[in-house]
Structure 1
Amino acid sequence: MLDRVQQQLEPILDRQGRLWRAGRRPAVAELLERSPLRHDTDAQLDLIYNEIVLREDLGEVPTFEEYVAQFPHLREELALQFEVHGAMATDAAETPRLTDATRPDLEPPFGDELPDVPGYEVVEVLGRGGMGVVYKARDRRLRRPVALKMFDPGRTPSPREVLRFRAEAAAIARLRHPNVVQIYEIGDHRGLPFLALELADRGTLAHRLQRLPYPPRPAAELVAALARAADHVHANGIVHRDLKPANILFAADTPKLTDFGLAKLLVEDPDAARDATRTGEPVGTPRYMAPEQTTGRHELTGPATDVYALGTILYECLTGQVPFVAASVVETVEKIRFAEPVPPRRFQKVTRNLETICLKCLEKQPERRYATAAALADDLDRYLRGEPIAARPVGAAERAVRWTRRYPTRAALIGTAAAILVAAGVGWKIREGRERERIAEVRASVESLVRDGQDALARREDVLAESRFQQALVAVQGEPALADYRTGVAGWLNHSRQLLHREQWKQRVPPREFDDLRDEAVAQSVLLDRLGRAPIPTAREAVAIALDRTLPGDPAWQPPREQLAILDADLIALADGPAAALARLDPVPTGSRLGHLRRAAYLDELGRHDAATAEREQAAALPPNDADEHFHDGLARLRRGDAAGASTAFEAVLDAEPEHFAARLCQAVCVLKLGRPGEAKVGLTACVAQRPRFAWCYLLRAECHRQLAAADAARKDIRAGLDLRPAEALRLAFLAANGQGGPK
């Protein structure tokens, strides 16, 4: 899914390409002149890279020196970009240059109207790609719908693009498989080739992944079908080399591989069109490339390259994100080459077997992946049948070997030191010291990464900040000795991700302001026993304020409105009993299991057991939402004084949704009530990182400091909290509660 910066940059890149192909040569500064990205380093680098490729297409040889002269502040970044581009362009050396003898006779492009292609009735535009356009059409002779793929009528294609188009046609013509888009005809129109293809008009996998990740089983079924199709492609002597969600179409619910423009023949066919691609040009997507593709080692590109891409697709289906992505193409390539993917189970509930299959596809060395795409499909089928899989997870010893390969100098020093110490007879003491030093080194690294992330946030470099916090989280998750860092780092990571998507966040339903108001109501509802029963009206007023920010009757607002109504009913039940609570819920449309279960509980208290049974039957027919149900169970237990039971419930919420702010806040309240202020302080510090302007984070952390005899820190947090919420009622209530001592 594209982030905010990429969404703003893509139209500028498109305009740059159109202008260069039309004979104009716009400068990067000109293209960014009125853009909010004019000071964005990554945007400048992407436009420079695109300009380099466009100039190479015109036969020019751009140099590092000329670009450093124009952009002296980007010297280091340009040096790395030219180095990576040079390595990736090695593949292009095998592509023959087109001479005048091989250059097709191109007629001028026709206008923007729908083309008149003999034998076809063109209906509408289905989509546009990097160099072409796809139309929905009807074959007049065979009376069937087709997709016509042709060059964009608004520009004249380069000869190399024509060569690539013909190579795609030659590749697809070899294939007959239910999960590969079929080719019906290869024709010519106005001197340019076109393809008549099977129509698959139910969108792409990329569009489907914009909504939600796939559940594990449907994801495995999807990738198994794609792997069977890829195996058929390989059996016909072709490697796709550009498998990604955007190149997977759906006909009804059947996935179809498409876009063979970067395909490579495993055995050269003298009669086929030559490979006209350059790995370094912006036609593929770097984050879906296998490590061997990024190095330019053409001889290593084979079926294992497509297996890697299938693993990337499976990873994205399961987690909603690709394994490796960074602030720039160069950093992404570095991650693909050298970093290990974060296990999918840290993002989503995924079984160990499915995670093992996914990570085997993503091995750096091609020979360590599945030998064939069919072997991958077979293992996915075993998983789906509940049978033992063939792949095996990487063990601790193998992880150590990989660490050694990645840091050979450090590993050699550690090994040499260990040998000397053992020989000296004092190895165990020194090893203990070395381990402390190593942990201290990792701790220092984590703290440095967090500081870098915080500095990046201050500079509004949200992508870089998210990357640094992600690295820090991976580091602490691998070190039990740093467990006390996990919650805080996770909070910063969540905070950076929210900032990264702030434009989408502003437009989402519900907006961020609503979250703060809703969580204010939650906080007041669980702190009743600290502030006395009198604040029930105050807590209900907080619920009413949050409800005022919603839109009655709008389906998008129904879930949050129902949750607030349940919270309000629980407060009414505390003051006036179950009948009044049930009356509060009666006019509220119920669309969740939780709503029916709450009604059933109140009906049982009133002795109306038949009606309660009917509510539970309706609840059973709805999909479960374990996180919401655990959360409200935790709230109820906390209000009853069962802090231990509530803590267990909130832990279950955080297991399912690690970024659930209200659950983390309530979990800290539970731990504080259980007499563990140090642990509560860690959780509340993570809450501060997530919501730095949420007053209760500071006020509750002040109580932790007070119990830990840190008076100065307590006073500082109290001032911070009361400055954020200076309301007199809140000030007096909290100070009065503080005077009563610790939590009850």
Structure 2
Amino acid sequence: MSEAAQTDPLIGTTIAERYRIEAPLGEGGIGRVYRARHETLGRAVALKVLLAQYESIPVLKQRFEREAKALAALSHPNIVTVTDFGVEGDMPYLVMELLEGVDLSGLVHGPPLEPQRALEIVRQALRALDYAHAQGLVHRDLKPHNVFVREMGDGTDHVEVLDFGLARFVGDAAKHSPKLTQQGALLGTPAYMAPEQASGMEADARADVYAMGCVLFEALTGRRVFESNDPGQVLKAHLLSPPPRMSQADPGLAVDASLERLVARALAKSAPERFQSAKEMLDALDALPPDAVRRVGPRPARSAPVSGVAPTQAPAISAPTAAGTPKALEQRQQQAASEGSIHLPQSRLPLMAGLGCGVVLIMGLLGGGIMWASDAFSSEEQGDTPPAPVPGVQPSPVAPPTPSAPARPAA
């Protein structure tokens, strides 16, 4: 008997009389994903279950069921396909196509991506989002781990967006979907959260646009927009700090001003100042000149901030004061800028307790392994190549070009 079978009672068992569980693929905060086999069809699948200790919590079971229904309602070549859902005893399960490949995070932490390949990966992810948004669904947890890349036989990439566990219906679709999120709760991953999302405010499709701006920045430069080992500082930076230019984050890139402006617009603090849809951002990418970005030198190795690049202590406000900016967010930004900290209404303080000392309250739901990677800050934000510990947070530092770090083996 294998070690996995000895420690995991589900290995070797059969779910719903047809899915035989073969091996674990990964585990997130409240769920686990397995490789399983449909015994009648002989087809390998990914089977996702809620961990036993959470089966008695109704809101988590409802959120798990909501993910299944959200994915089942979507039919797009760039979105992972759900094939079945059910409950075995008290354990809900979700069956999906088993994807073979690597998530974008694995590619980003290897040798630098060829810039045109990175742009095409983002284009395909935006097509998936455009479709999901048209169905009234906002993802709310976009990040490289949730962008899965398969290399096809002809050498091209096929991208699928994963993990709609934090997705929420908006507009007319919301009338038929229960709201499971407490007002003011933080849902998502700090490195990719839009300012309004980091504030616990309502997030619409423009929050996904912001996250895709972060993903595009990282795919091209190999660095997150804001880097710190303290998630509270990262959230504060998304609220208050201007993002760096990509050419600063990676001096080995020659970046046209049109692409710098595109990313800056996607990362605007004020949602009305961003692209208003995934389609609008996709059209802007398609309109770029052919040589909008190219590699002209090696990527700097990840290191501590160089001399003269200090962590941000009391960042200035970079959000435009457009008429459409939510007044509450403007006031919160102004207050935080003057006091160097984030203040929320008293009713939200329990949700935010420990934010400044690095406690993440509600992050990704389920994940891990070759397919599901909606992991919490503790696993993704401190992965194989973590940023150096700093007291505060800084935009990706400017560093002289040095040889690229060795590639991380694909999971």
Picking from 177, 192, 200, the partner of 1:288 is 192
Picking from 121, 146, 171, the partner of 2:70 is 171
Amino acid at match of 1:366: A
> Deviations for 1:21-56, whole angstroms, at most 9, x for unmatched residues?
xxxxxxxxxxxxxxxxxxxxxxxxxxxxxxxxxxxx
**Contact 1:243/1:306 (<8 A) preserved:** yes
Taking a change above 3 Å as real, the CA distance of residues 275 and 249 of structure 1, as seen in their structure-2 partners, is: farther
- Cα deviation for residue 149 of structure 1 reads 1.1
Taking a change above 3 Å as real, the CA distance of residues 123 and 345 of structure 1, as seen in their structure-2 partners, is: same
Partner in structure 2 of residue 267 of structure 1: 171
Task: Tell which structure's C-alpha radius of gyration is larger.
Answer: 1
Partner in structure 1 of residue 359 of structure 2: none
Distance 1:160 1:209 in 2: 34
Partner in structure 2 of residue 380 of structure 1: 285
Taking a change above 3 Å as real, the CA distance of residues 187 and 403 of structure 1, as seen in their structure-2 partners, is: closer
Picking from 244, 266, 286, the partner of 1:342 is 244
Higher strand share: 2
**Contact 1:181/1:256 (<8 A) preserved:** yes
> Deviations for 1:664-689, whole angstroms, at most 9, x for unmatched residues?
xxxxxxxxxxxxxxxxxxxxxxxxxx
Amino acid at match of 1:329: P
Distance 2:163 2:10 in 1: 23
Taking a change above 3 Å as real, the CA distance of residues 347 and 145 of structure 1, as seen in their structure-2 partners, is: same
Partner in structure 2 of residue 148 of structure 1: 47
Distance 2:141 2:73 in 1: 18
Distance 1:114 1:354 in 2: 51
- Cα deviation for residue 167 of structure 1 reads 1.0
Distance 2:148 2:12 in 1: 23
Partner in structure 2 of residue 130 of structure 1: 29
Taking a change above 3 Å as real, the CA distance of residues 322 and 132 of structure 1, as seen in their structure-2 partners, is: same
**Contact 1:121/1:139 (<8 A) preserved:** yes
Taking a change above 3 Å as real, the CA distance of residues 205 and 401 of structure 1, as seen in their structure-2 partners, is: closer
Distance 2:21 2:98 in 1: 13
Give secondary structure in 2 for the equivalent of 1:230. helix
> Deviations for 1:627-673, whole angstroms, at most 9, x for unmatched residues?
xxxxxxxxxxxxxxxxxxxxxxxxxxx5xx1x58xxxxxxxxxxxxx
> Deviations for 1:595-625, whole angstroms, at most 9, x for unmatched residues?
xxxxxxxxxxxxxxxxxxxxxxxxxxxxxxx
Written as runs of structure 1 = structure 2, the 5 A alignment for 1:122-271 is: 122-153=21-52, 156=55, 158-252=57-151, 253-267=157-171, 269=173
Distance 1:316 1:279 in 2: 30
Picking from 349, 356, 362, the partner of 2:267 is 362
**Contact 1:220/1:384 (<8 A) preserved:** no
Picking from 115, 137, 143, the partner of 2:13 is 115
Taking a change above 3 Å as real, the CA distance of residues 257 and 250 of structure 1, as seen in their structure-2 partners, is: same
Give secondary structure in 1 for the equivalent of 2:48. strand
Distance 2:175 2:41 in 1: 29
- Cα deviation for residue 258 of structure 1 reads 1.1
**Contact 1:286/1:332 (<8 A) preserved:** yes
Give secondary structure in 2 for the equivalent of 1:464. coil
Taking a change above 3 Å as real, the CA distance of residues 150 and 282 of structure 1, as seen in their structure-2 partners, is: farther
Amino acid at match of 1:312: C
Give secondary structure in 2 for the equivalent of 1:188. strand
**Contact 1:172/1:260 (<8 A) preserved:** yes
Written as runs of structure 1 = structure 2, the 5 A alignment for 1:512-591 is: none
Q: Work out whether 1:464 is the aligned partner of 2:366.
A: no
- Cα deviation for residue 402 of structure 1 reads 5.2
Gaps of 5+ in 2: 1-7, 152-156, 293-315, 322-329, 336-386, 404-411
- Cα deviation for residue 347 of structure 1 reads 2.5
- Cα deviation for residue 257 of structure 1 reads 0.8
Give secondary structure in 2 for the equivalent of 1:185. strand
- Cα deviation for residue 287 of structure 1 reads 1.4
Give secondary structure in 1 for the equivalent of 2:86. strand
- Cα deviation for residue 280 of structure 1 reads 7.1
- Cα deviation for residue 325 of structure 1 reads 2.8
Taking a change above 3 Å as real, the CA distance of residues 113 and 120 of structure 1, as seen in their structure-2 partners, is: closer
**Contact 1:133/1:151 (<8 A) preserved:** yes
- Cα deviation for residue 404 of structure 1 reads 9.6
**Contact 2:71/2:82 (<8 A) preserved:** yes
Amino acid at match of 1:258: L
Q: Work out whether 1:307 is the aligned partner of 2:209.
A: yes
Distance 1:212 1:466 in 2: 28
The normalised TM-score by structure 1 is 0.38
- Cα deviation for residue 355 of structure 1 reads 2.1
Distance 1:403 1:113 in 2: 51
Distance 1:326 1:295 in 2: 19
The normalised TM-score by structure 2 is 0.66
Distance 2:225 2:36 in 1: 38
- Cα deviation for residue 213 of structure 1 reads 3.6
Taking a change above 3 Å as real, the CA distance of residues 254 and 351 of structure 1, as seen in their structure-2 partners, is: same
> Deviations for 1:218-255, whole angstroms, at most 9, x for unmatched residues?
11111111001000000011000000111122344422
Amino acid at match of 1:361: A
Q: Work out whether 1:323 is the aligned partner of 2:225.
A: yes
Amino acid at match of 2:178: R
Give secondary structure in 2 for the equivalent of 1:243. coil
- Cα deviation for residue 279 of structure 1 reads 8.2
Q: CA RMSD in A?
A: 3.3
**Contact 2:169/2:177 (<8 A) preserved:** no
> Deviations for 1:85-135, whole angstroms, at most 9, x for unmatched residues?
xxxxxxxxxxxxxxxxxxxxxxxxx83534311212322212112211111
Taking a change above 3 Å as real, the CA distance of residues 375 and 175 of structure 1, as seen in their structure-2 partners, is: same
Distance 1:224 1:462 in 2: 31
Taking a change above 3 Å as real, the CA distance of residues 212 and 224 of structure 1, as seen in their structure-2 partners, is: same
279-288 vs 225-234, greater mean Cα deviation: 279-288
Query: Which of structures 1 and 2 has the larger relative contact order (alpha carbons within 8 angstroms, sep 6+)?
Result: 2
> Deviations for 1:255-282, whole angstroms, at most 9, x for unmatched residues?
2111111111113558855232458778
